[in-house]
Amino acid sequence: MRYIVRRVGQAVITILSVIVLTFLLVRSLPGGPMDYLRAQLMQNRTGRQVSMAELQSLAREYMNLHPGEPIWVQLYYYVSSFLQGDLGQSIWFGEPVSSIIVKAAPWTLFLLTTSIILTFGIGIVLGAVMAYKEGSWFDTSSTVVSMFLNSVPYFVAALLFVYVISIQFSMLPQSGNVAPGLEASFSLTYIGSILEHAILPIASLVVTGFGGIALGMRGNAVKEIGEEYIRVAHLRGISSRRIAIRYVGRNAVLPLYTQFMISIGFMFGGSVILEQIFAYPGLGNYLLTGITARDYPLMMGIFIIITAAVVLCILFADLTYSKIDPRVSTGSGESY
């Protein structure tokens, strides 16, 4: 019980520190957000001077910043409005940041969830088979292939896929999340179009990712197979099939858990570049736009949301881990 409290507390601290961090970062930007805002506004409303008061009210509106007040107060306003769901207004898109996030998040989540499931699914199965056939040519060649694919950065793979499959062979669309103009519905065409557009981005992540998992799984499984209780189980007459699944498989998967958690964070980060390449309207893409357009509210909002998502996922995984691995008591907290 104490462990749960501790972990949740940790998660809360993490999210809060990220909020504070972004807040401070923004304030330390060259020129500061105030000047920037002024410059932006001056660009938009040519010729007109912007008064300090107007600037301040705009700042409050767009970014929940209260310039002129002591820093602690500013921080307080920022955090409190954030927690109330008000993330400010996007300068570039002219919409509330929160609505942009609500629009974009499902797409990113869709891509990432599918990618992680596939990567780990394929990786674990492949790793198990490799361990079973240890030393065979299948094992050696799979090892080399896995290592090689793992050395390719996912965006390199993405570019290559786009090149070969989209442009040269025109088999799959190059960008977007769905064919333009299609009505959102549960119809087969709509869903089919979504899938079509999702294959390449997902493939980039999965093809470059499964190798690492497979190699890890293989190593774990090989170690498991050498364990004494496997021999005892065999002598007890337990079927090879059950040994493979319940003894070797189950126990070999457990250490992959840390990798799983790292992958969650990694993939959220990876979505930034990936969505840019595929012009996929997800969180990563908007984040990038926010950065290049110096749209601070958008930038900060998405960054904080992404972090919060990762933290929550990891927290959830952490708390449920003890259900799977009985060696970990929720009291010790030393789960990885």
Partner 1 sequence: MQAETKHKFDVDDPIFEVRNASVTFDMERGESKVMDSIDIDVDRGEILGVVGESGSGKSMFASALLDAVPKPGVLSGEIQYYPEDGEPVDLLDQSESEIKEIRWEEISMVFQGAMSSFNPTMTIGDHFEETLQAHGRDISEGMEYADELLSELYLEADQVLGSYPHELSGGMKQRALLALSLLLEPEVLVMDEPTAALDLLMQRSIIELIRDIGEERDLTIVFITHDLPLVANLADRIGVLYAFEFVEVGPAYDILTDSKHPYTRALLNSTPNLDTPREEMRPIEGKSPDPVNVPAGCSYHPRCPLSDENCVQNDPPFQSDDGDTDHQAKCHYIEQTRREIPLNLQEVEYSE
Partner 2 sequence: MSETNETFTSGSSTEQQTARSRRSLYRERLDRYVLTPLRVIWNDWRTRLGTLIILFYILVGTVGVHYISEPQIGGPRLAGIFEAPGYPLGTNNLGEGLMSSLVHATPPMLKMITAGAVFATGIAVALGTVSGYKGGRVDTVLSTLIDIAMTVPGLPLIILLVVTFQPTNPFVIGIVLSINSWAGLARNIRSQVLELRDNSYIEASRIMGRSTGGIVYDDILPNIMPFVLISFVNTARAVIFGSVGLYYLGILQTPENNWGIMLNNAYSAGGALYSWDSLYWIVLPMATIVLLSFGLVLFSQGTERLFNPRIRARHAETIDETSPMEE
List contacts with partner 1 (CB under 8 A).
227-229, 231-239, 242, 246-247, 250-251, 254, 325-327
Residue 89: strand pairing partners: 96
Alpha-carbon span 29 to 262, nearest angstrom = 29
Q: Is 265 in the site for partner 2 (CB under 8 A)?
A: yes
Q: CA–CA separation, 12 vs 315, rounded Å? A: 10
Q: Which residues contact 101 (CB under 8 A, 6 or more apart)?
A: 87, 283, 286, 301, 302, 305
Question: From the CB of residue 211, how many other CB atoms can be counted at a distance below 10 Å?
Answer: 25
Judged by CB under 8 A, the stretch of 50-58, 83-91, 119-127, 259-267 that binds partner 2 is 259-267
Q: Taking the complex as a whole, how short is the minimal distance between the CB of residue 334 and partner 1, in angstroms?
A: 13
- Kindly report the backbone phi and psi dihedral angles of residue 89, in degrees, each rounded to the nearest multiple of 5, phi listed first: -115, 135
Binding partner selected for residue 273 from partner 1, partner 2, none, CB under the kind-specific 5 to 8 Å limit: partner 2
Residue 15 or 233: the one with the smaller Cβ distance to partner 1 is 233
Please state the closest distance from residue 203 (CB atom) to partner 2, in A. Answer: 17
The 10 Å Cβ neighbour count of residue 307 is 19
Quick one: which of 209, 252, 223 has its CA closest to 120?
209
**In the complex, least distance from residue 330 CB atom to partner 1, rounded to whole angstroms:** 14
Taking CB under 8 A as the rule, does residue 324 contact partner 2? Answer: no
Q: Let me know if 205 is exposed, middle or buried by CB neighbors in 10 A (0-12, 13-18, 19+).
A: buried
CB of residue 175 to partner 2, shortest distance in Å: 12
Neighbours of 325 (CB within 10 A): 15
Gap between the Cα atoms of 321 and 200, Å rounded: 32
Contacts of 37 (CB under 8 A, 6+ apart): 55, 58, 59, 62, 63, 91
CB of 234 to partner 1, least distance (A): 8
Q: Residue from 41, 291, 293, 319 that binds partner 2 (CB under 8 A)?
A: 291
CA gap 211, 311 in Å, rounded: 25
CB-based contacts of 121, cutoff 8 Å, min separation 6: none
Kindly write out the interface string for residues 152-181 of this chain, putting x where it contacts partner 2 by CB under 8 A and - elsewhere. xx-xx--xx-xx---xx-------------
Residues 8-37 that bind partner 2 (CB under 8 A): 10-11, 13-14, 17-18, 22, 25, 28-29
Residue closer to partner 1 (CB basis): 6 or 250: 250
User: Least distance in Å: CB of 285 to partner 2?
Assistant: 11
Judged by the rule CB under 8 A, the positions of this chain that interact with partner 2 are 10-11, 13-14, 17-18, 22, 25, 28-29, 143, 147-148, 150-153, 155-156, 159-160, 162-163, 167-168, 215, 219, 258, 261-262, 265-266, 268-270, 272-273, 276, 287-288, 291-292, 299, 302-303, 306-307, 310-311, 314, 334, 336
